[in-house]
Structures are given as structure tokens and as C-alpha cells.
Structure 1
Amino acid sequence: MVKKTLDKDLERITQIESQTLKAAQTFKSLALALLFLLAVWIFAASAIGANEHSTIVIVAAIVGGYMALNIGANDVANNVGPAVGSKALTMFGALIIAAIFEAAGAIIAGGEVVSTIKKGIIDPAGMSDSQTFIWAMLSALFAAAAWVNIATWVGAPVSTTHAVVGGVMGAGIAAAGFGIVSWPTMYKIAASWVISPVLGGIIAAFFLAIIKFNIIYKEDKLTAARKWVPILVAVMSGVFSAYLIMKGLKKVWKPDTLTLGAIAVAISFAAYFIVKPIVARASEGMENRNKSVRSLFTIPLIFSAALLSFAHGANDVANAVGPLAAIVSVTSSGSIEGKVGIPLWVMVIGATGISAGLFLFGPKLIRTVGEQITKMNPMRAFCVALSAGITVLIASALGLPVSSTHIAVGAVFGVGFFREWITERRARQTRAENRRAKIHPDSNLPATELQPEANFQRKKLVRRSHVFTIAAAWVITVPCAALLAAGIFFIISSFA
């Protein structure tokens, strides 16, 4: 009894110590985040100098830095989460790779010109004056950042683009009424809530099926891997080259569709002939096991995480600094423009903020995406990354406003549900073989294959609680961000 009591006391002490360390880490991260925002204040003040609008621009820069922190904490998990969950990357390695490539994408290839009214949500001509427009953009930015912060706190990966869209819509309605909103565009965005995850899930499941049926279920797995792994890596190389050019290098170069396709095909062929001998050498001496096959996908998976991060930094930095750039433009020119250039100092705030948010708060969502939805390994994570690239290309070709967050998380769910389906399918086949063996005792079926019926239970390989939490967060992102923005706009307007 003494030993049991002592064990319980020690367990309580260990739990208290663990919670204390966790709380200390949280406070440390919050303190560093506040220091970053203070640095943004000083940096913005030095960049713009003293003028009649300097105060509002500095406030907007701080809010933009806050938004960038939240993008790093929430959105970047989709790029590296599966790689961490599959153990292809350590958490620290993933943070380093993502931070470097996110910042590089934002600085090198970040949008030269961004629409200040994201995706045409509202018509700026409907604003009564430039001051109203400034308050609306500030309200939208703050509301989007606050909502993404809340979503990160509850562990739900959400679309930061949709948060900005909701914020702009809500602030626009509060400023000029419902007529200012482009409702057809909003309907397309609402449709993307379903299209993005479903399409991402289907494509990821499709590639996992290719790997399962053509490699894993073959008797000689290594021979099959030598044939199929170079093909799959070649497909990924072509897809990611097109994805990177289309989404990450659009500031530097924007080729037509035919040129883009030709480049992707050429890179695919080159990758195939480069990777094939590498895979052949790497597989020499390996055991004929699934674990050996999985290891062949590790390096391509790391490259995909880096490229996804680069493209994300280039494409989504505008979510943090687009409204800020709009405010800077209006305060300097006095007129409301539909499109504005982003000053370098504004881009630096967005890039450093995303990297800082990733380091300070990113691990929580990385674990959610990579470990807590379904179990990952390099093959499954490879399928998720490949699905993200292909889905974005398809959506861009069709003109659909999809979310990279929804695609990546949908792909993770797709992989998990496919695993459930294929496991149940194989279990049914084994049950049928058992029944045949009972009817025909002289069957050649090995005794090891005979399993009692009681052992066959449907395995749930996806956490249902995360399905409902994340889906609910997706659906309410736009309306919640809109309501927050409208409320903030009314508060600012009443005191301005």
C-alpha cells in the first residue's frame, strides 16, 4: 500500500512539473511574440519617418505583424506536419526548413502586386472616403488575425485566406452596406469549403492506392519499388515544378499554360532518369519489408516540404501584409487603388512574422496535422504532399478559389479513410478465405491465414473528433471573421 501511494504521489508531482514547464514555455513564447511586435513598431517607425499618417501606419504594421505570427503558427503546419508525423523530419528540422523557405518565398517571390480587396470581395469605390477605407482594412486585418489566433489555440488548422476574406467582407458591410460585397465570389469561396478537402483527399487516396497495390502488396516489394518509386518521384517533380512556377515564382516569371506544361514534362523525365539509379543503389541489401520501401520516400518528402513552404511564403504573405499595403498606399497617395505594390519593408514584416510565429507557436498545429488525425509514415506523407500540389494546379486551371490548408488537411483525412477502407476490404477477404477453408478442409490455404471471426473488427484509423472540430472551424471562419471585423470597425469608427 505504501508503494502504491508513493507511486501515485510521484505521478502527481511529475504531472505538475510537466504542466508547469508547459505553462512556462507558453509564457516565454508570448513574451517573445510581444518583443517581435515591439520590434515591428520600431522598424515601421524608422521605415516611414514622421508624417501626419505615421501613427495609423505604425498601428497597421503592428497588426500586420500579429497576423503574420498567426499565419506562421497555423498555416505552415500543412506544409511540414505530415513530414514530422512520418518521422521523415524532426520537429526542429521541420521548423528550420519551413522558416528558411517561407521567408525566402515571401522575400524573393512574394507578390509584386496584390489586390488590396482580396479576390474582389468588395468594391472599393463603394467607400465614402479614404479614411473609411483605412478603418475597414485595419478592422479586417485585426479580425482575421484574432480569428486565426483563436483557431490555433483550439488546435484547428484554418484557411488564413478565408479569414482575410471574411474580415474584408464584414468590414466592408459595416462601412458601406451589403451592396458593396461581390456575392458571386463569396459563393465560389463557400463551394471551395467542400471542393478543396474532398479533391485533396481523393487524389491522396488515389496515390496511396497506387503504392499499396503496386508495391506494398507485391511479394517482391523491392523490385516493385525500383520500378514505381522513380515514376512517383518524377510525377512529383513535374507537379512541383509547375506548382512552384505558378504559385511561387509568379512575381519573377509567368509563362503561358503550354510552356508551363512542357517544363513540367521535361523536369519529370529528367527526374525519372536521375532518381532511377539512385533508388536502385539505395535498395541494394535492404530487407524485403514495408519499412525498407518507406525509407525510399523520405528524401523526396523533405524536398516537397521545402518547396511547399517556399510557395506558401510567396503566395500567402499577402494575407498578412495585403491590407497593410493598402493602408500604406492610401495614406501616401490619398486615393483608393484596386491594386497596390507592396513596399519591401512591409514584405519583411510579413516574412519575419511568419517565421517567428512558426517557431513560437507552430509545433502545436504541426502535431495536430502530422500526428493526431491519422498515423503517418513517409509513403502516406508523400501522397499528402503530392495531392496538395496537384489539387492546387487543377483548381487554378479551373479558376476555383481553393485553400491550401483545406487541401492538405483533406489529403490527410483522405489517406486515413482510405487506410480504413483497405484494411476492412482485406479483412473481408480473409473472412471469405476462412469460410472457404471451413467448407473445404483440404484447401491449400496456410494455417497461419486462418483467423477467428471474432478478431475481425472495423478499425478506426482517423480520429473522428478532429474531423468535426476542423470541419466546423472551416465553415465558420468566414462568418466569424466577418462579425469580428464589423464589430471592430464600429468600435474604431465611434472613437475616431
Structure 2
Amino acid sequence: MSNTTLKPTLDKDLEKVSRLQGANTFLTARFAAPSLSFVFLLLAMGISSIYMTGELGTGIVIAAAGVGAYLALNIGANDVANNVGPAVGSQALSITGALIIAAIFESAGALIAGGDVVGTISKGIIDPATVSQSDVFVRVMLSALVSSALWVNLATWIGAPVSTTHAVVGGVMGSGMAASGYSSVNWDTMGSIAASWVISPVLGGLIAAAFLFFIKTFIIYQSDKIAAARRWVPLLISIMVGAFSAYLAMKGLKKVISITLWQALLFGFAASILSYLVVKPLIARQAEGLENRNQSLRKLFRMPLICSAALLSFAHGANDVANAIGPLAAIVHTISAGEVAAKVSIPLWVMVIGACGISFGLLLFGPKLIRMVGEQITKLNPMRAYCVALSAAITVIIASGFGLPVSSTHIAVGAVFGVGFFREWYTRSSKRRVDYMHSETGRSSYTQLTAKTKRPKLVRRSHFTTIVAAWVITVPASAGVSAMVYAALTGLLMP
């Protein structure tokens, strides 16, 4: 009798214990990333204290190192998603594989080709003469670090991929105006940056849509898809190799050796020819025995897509690490030398903080934005993701040729939108698609049904609105926060 009364009690107790353990596991996992991030910030501050021991203003450098590390974490959580998101969304890479590849190549790009000199006034938007006093300059840079880090953190939280370059630009502009007034800003430069808000995504979307149109016309909607793939896929891959070779030369290798735009294009053309000769027989072999369907075509694009994710991450690490460490390097130099310089050398320990911060931010917080870019805007497969990746490289090359400041974030996300909106138009408007589907189904009513009544929505409008709004307000929001931080710092440091 006693056993039957004890057993239900024991089961209930065990169930309660199990629930408590499950809740504890959930809470532990939820707070693990912030805890590890806090440890990284402490390490960054500790490293800076070691290298700045005995220097006047060490406390400010330690604080700046913590904020710079915080910004680097946020860059990894937000910006890097654009490089690997399409590969994950198309299922060419798992989320784990994408995180590993991106972390390795981001760090390699930052440390190998991140450069050893950085401009102290971001993008030349503030007249250096207006912030020539060391204490004013340090407060301007520290305020820019704080504001851009806070804004990128907020954008990541709401699920909006934004340009960290624009956040830093806005931060420098806001604190510079707070320090020296409206006239200290180079408004011509700010005008070109504002123009890039439109140019970057539109150009990226148009180029991605153009390549997707080519693939649909000459490969997907052909009666013999495999034969068409043997003919055109090697050419598409060679274009990608050439574009990325030129892209890396311009955005990565230029930090190691001096290289002009035409030299980069020549290098890309040579790489394209060589890759075509190598890839053509490989694709022919890989296509043997494949069924005549779209699923077979996806296999041919998988490896190029993985390579593109790695190369985009390398170029991003080389090009954007200065966003996190540029203001920090400027603060370190100004505190140590007691003067404001137009360009400063980047100490190795500062570079390591930036590179590691970007990688840690990606690993700890990156999956949210990776899924947003790769899965939640529009449905991607390897062919569509290939168009997005290729568009990112080509758009940067074109923009550089015209001297236009563009954002890699805006380009990649704009390309994803471009692919989605193009598919909406193509699905309801393409006569080639309608005729192909009619011949495949044999239904006489298919043409009329598809051409006149079907209006698919293949892009989530809510994400489009949120992301565009975040892009538009990035610079003014970061500038406003930076101005307030500058005022607060001035009140604290100069009572």
C-alpha cells in the first residue's frame, strides 16, 4: 500500500527535477554567448592595459579597447551574414560549416591583408583641422566607437543587416559636429555616401537579376538541361573566378602591395581564362549520369558557392576590420604620441582584437542574421545564391571604377531582393517559362492561368520595409547617439 502511494509522488518529484534541469539548460545556453562576449571584452581591455602601462591616458585607451572589441563583436554578428547567408539559405552549406569557414577567412583577411595604416578621420568626412586638439580628437573617436557599436547591436537585435561602415561614418560625423559645429563636415563626401544607399542595393539587385535571367533562359528552361549546363556552367564559374580575383586584388591585396584598378582587372581576366580551361572538363565529368532536372543542376553550383563564401569573407575581413579598429588605433596613437595624425600605424595587438572580435561575434551571434539573409527574405537555391555572390564582387568592381563609395552589406542584401523580385516578375511574365511549362504539363489552360491570374509574392515585404528603413536611418541615428555620447564625455572629462 505504501509503495503505491509513494510511486506517484516520486514520479512527480522526478518530473519537477527534469523540468528544472531543462530550464537550467535553456538559461545556460541563452546566457552563454553574452557571458563569453563579456570575457572577450575583459581580455581586450587587459591586453591594452599591458601594452599601455605607464602611458598617460591609459584608462581612456583601456575603455576604448573595450568599446572597439564590442564593435568588432557586432560587426561579426551583423556584417558577415551577408557573405555566407546565401550559401546557407541555398543549403550549399550548413550553418555550422558557414560559421567555421567565415570565422577562418574573416580572421585571415584581417590579419594578412588588413593593412598596417588606417586613416584617422573616417572617409574624410570631418576636416582634421577642426579636431586638431588631442583631447577633442580622442573624445570624437571614442564617441564614434560607442555610437556605431550600439546602433549595429540594435540593428542585429531587430534582425536588420546594416552597413557598419555607415554606422562609423555617422558616428564620426555626429561627434565631429558636436565638437566643431556644422561646418566641420565635408558635405560633398556625405552626399556621395548617401547616394550609395540607393546605388549599392539597386546595382547589386540588377546584376544578380541579370545573371539569374541568363541561367533561367539558357540552362533551366532548356529541354536538355544537362547539355546546356555543360556548355554554360564553366563560363559562369570562370566569370565568378575572374570577378573574385579582381575583387580580392582591389579589396585585399592592395593592403599588401600597390595595385591599380586596371591591374586588378587584368589579373581577374587571366584568372578567368585559366579557370575556364580547368573547370570545363571537370564540369563535363561531374555532369555525367545526372538526371535532366533542376535538382541535378544545383549540384554543379554547390562548390563554387562555397568558395565564393570563403572569398567574400576574406575580402570583408581585409576591408572592414578598419571599421572596428581604425578609431581605436587613432586613439592609441594620439594618447601615445600626444598629437593628431592623418594616418596612423595599427599596432598588432589592436589588429588581433579586431580580427578575433569579428570572428567571435560571428560564432556567438551570427546565426540570426545569416538565417535572415539566406532564408527569410526570399527562397534561395544554389543558382540564385550564386547570382547574389557574383553580384557582390562585380558591383564593387564597377563602383570602384567610377569612384563610388558602396556598402558590401547593401550590395549583398540588395542582390537577394533583386533575385526575389525578379522571380516574381519572371514567374508571371516570361513567355519562355510559360511555353516550357505548357510543353511539360500538356495543359492547354496553363498559359492563360500563369500569364494573367498568377501573382506570386516571393519576397517578404515586411523584411524589405524593415531593412530599408534601417539603412536610411543608420547614419543619422549613429550621428545623434555619437553627439550625445560626446557631450556626456565632455561633461565627465572636462567638468
Whether the TM-score (by the shorter chain) exceeds 0.5 is yes
**Structure-2 residue corresponding to 1:413:** 417
1:431-470 correspondence runs (5 A): 447-451=442-446, 456-470=453-467
Contact 1:171 1:486 (C-alpha < 8 Å) held by counterparts: yes
1:188 to 182, 192, 198: 192
Alignment of 1:86 onto 2:86: no
d(CA) in 2 for partners of 1:429 and 1:261?
Answer: 35
Q: Using the TM superposition, give the Cα deviation of residue 427 of structure 1 relative to its aligned residue in structure 2, in angstroms.
A: 7.8
Gaps of 5+ in 1: 1-15, 435-443
Instruction: Return closer, same or farther for 1:273/1:454 CA change in 2, 3 Å cut-off.
Output: closer
**Structure-2 residue corresponding to 1:101:** 105
Deviates more, 1:330-339 or 1:193-202: 330-339
Instruction: Return closer, same or farther for 1:126/1:448 CA change in 2, 3 Å cut-off.
Output: same
Instruction: Return closer, same or farther for 1:83/1:430 CA change in 2, 3 Å cut-off.
Output: closer
Deviates more, 1:452-461 or 1:184-193: 452-461
1:158-177 correspondence runs (5 A): 158-177=162-181
Q: Deviations over 1:421-480 (max 9, x none)?
A: 11011489759999xxxxxxxxx9974353496774211000000110000000000000
**Structure-2 residue corresponding to 1:226:** 230
Instruction: Return closer, same or farther for 1:144/1:22 CA change in 2, 3 Å cut-off.
Output: farther
**Structure-1 residue corresponding to 2:332:** 328
Letter in 2 for 1:258: W
**Structure-2 residue corresponding to 1:437:** none
Taking structure 2 as the reference length, the TM-score comes to: 0.92
Q: Using the TM superposition, give the Cα deviation of residue 18 of structure 1 relative to its aligned residue in structure 2, in angstroms.
A: 9.8
Question: What secondary structure, in the 3-state scheme, does the structure 1 residue paired with 2:101 have?
Answer: helix
Q: Deviations over 1:204-252 (max 9, x none)?
A: 0000011000000000000000010000000011110010011011121
Instruction: Return closer, same or farther for 1:428/1:204 CA change in 2, 3 Å cut-off.
Output: closer
2:62 to 58, 62, 69: 58
Contact 1:110 1:317 (C-alpha < 8 Å) held by counterparts: yes
d(CA) in 1 for partners of 2:284 and 2:35?
Answer: 50
Question: What secondary structure, in the 3-state scheme, does the structure 2 residue paired with 1:114 have?
Answer: strand
d(CA) in 2 for partners of 1:39 and 1:445?
Answer: 62
Contact 1:431 1:453 (C-alpha < 8 Å) held by counterparts: no
Letter in 2 for 1:448: R
d(CA) in 1 for partners of 2:176 and 2:434?
Answer: 60
**Structure-2 residue corresponding to 1:357:** 361
Q: Using the TM superposition, give the Cα deviation of residue 141 of structure 1 relative to its aligned residue in structure 2, in angstroms.
A: 0.6
d(CA) in 2 for partners of 1:38 and 1:425?
Answer: 57
1:235 to 211, 236, 239: 239
Alignment of 1:265 onto 2:260: no
Alignment of 1:377 onto 2:374: no
Instruction: Return closer, same or farther for 1:431/1:226 CA change in 2, 3 Å cut-off.
Output: closer
Contact 1:430 1:449 (C-alpha < 8 Å) held by counterparts: no
**Structure-2 residue corresponding to 1:156:** 160
Alignment of 1:487 onto 2:491: no
Alignment of 1:256 onto 2:260: yes
d(CA) in 2 for partners of 1:108 and 1:172?
Answer: 32
Alignment of 1:284 onto 2:288: yes
Q: Using the TM superposition, give the Cα deviation of residue 52 of structure 1 relative to its aligned residue in structure 2, in angstroms.
A: 1.7
d(CA) in 1 for partners of 2:65 and 2:256?
Answer: 26
Letter in 2 for 1:143: S
d(CA) in 2 for partners of 1:198 and 1:22?
Answer: 42
Aligned Cα root-mean-square deviation (Å): 2.2
Instruction: Return closer, same or farther for 1:446/1:150 CA change in 2, 3 Å cut-off.
Output: closer
Taking structure 1 as the reference length, the TM-score comes to: 0.92
Q: Using the TM superposition, give the Cα deviation of residue 257 of structure 1 relative to its aligned residue in structure 2, in angstroms.
A: 3.2
Alignment of 1:398 onto 2:395: no
Question: What secondary structure, in the 3-state scheme, does the structure 1 residue paired with 2:148 have?
Answer: helix
d(CA) in 2 for partners of 1:19 and 1:454?
Answer: 52
d(CA) in 1 for partners of 2:374 and 2:44?
Answer: 31
Q: Using the TM superposition, give the Cα deviation of residue 23 of structure 1 relative to its aligned residue in structure 2, in angstroms.
A: 5.4
Letter in 2 for 1:242: A
Instruction: Return closer, same or farther for 1:311/1:445 CA change in 2, 3 Å cut-off.
Output: closer
**Structure-1 residue corresponding to 2:470:** 473
d(CA) in 2 for partners of 1:407 and 1:320?
Answer: 20
Q: Determine what percentage of the aligned residue pairs are the same residue.
A: 61
Q: Deviations over 1:49-72 (max 9, x none)?
A: 232221111111110000000000
Contact 1:157 1:365 (C-alpha < 8 Å) held by counterparts: yes
1:340 to 325, 328, 344: 344
Instruction: Return closer, same or farther for 1:429/1:322 CA change in 2, 3 Å cut-off.
Output: closer
Alignment of 1:317 onto 2:314: no
Contact 2:115 2:256 (C-alpha < 8 Å) held by counterparts: no
Deviates more, 1:116-125 or 1:454-463: 454-463
Instruction: Return closer, same or farther for 1:44/1:216 CA change in 2, 3 Å cut-off.
Output: same
Contact 1:127 1:176 (C-alpha < 8 Å) held by counterparts: yes
d(CA) in 2 for partners of 1:135 and 1:178?
Answer: 17
Instruction: Return closer, same or farther for 1:360/1:433 CA change in 2, 3 Å cut-off.
Output: closer
Q: Using the TM superposition, give the Cα deviation of residue 127 of structure 1 relative to its aligned residue in structure 2, in angstroms.
A: 1.9
Contact 1:66 1:145 (C-alpha < 8 Å) held by counterparts: yes
d(CA) in 2 for partners of 1:159 and 1:465?
Answer: 19
Letter in 1 for 2:485: I
d(CA) in 1 for partners of 2:41 and 2:260?
Answer: 41
| Aligned positions, number | 473
Deviates more, 1:168-177 or 1:334-343: 334-343
Alignment of 1:25 onto 2:29: yes
Letter in 2 for 1:488: V
Alignment of 1:299 onto 2:296: no
Q: Deviations over 1:167-211 (max 9, x none)?
A: 000000001101110000000000000000000000000000110
Instruction: Return closer, same or farther for 1:289/1:20 CA change in 2, 3 Å cut-off.
Output: farther
Q: Using the TM superposition, give the Cα deviation of residue 17 of structure 1 relative to its aligned residue in structure 2, in angstroms.
A: 11
Deviates more, 1:164-173 or 1:17-26: 17-26
d(CA) in 2 for partners of 1:457 and 1:225?
Answer: 29
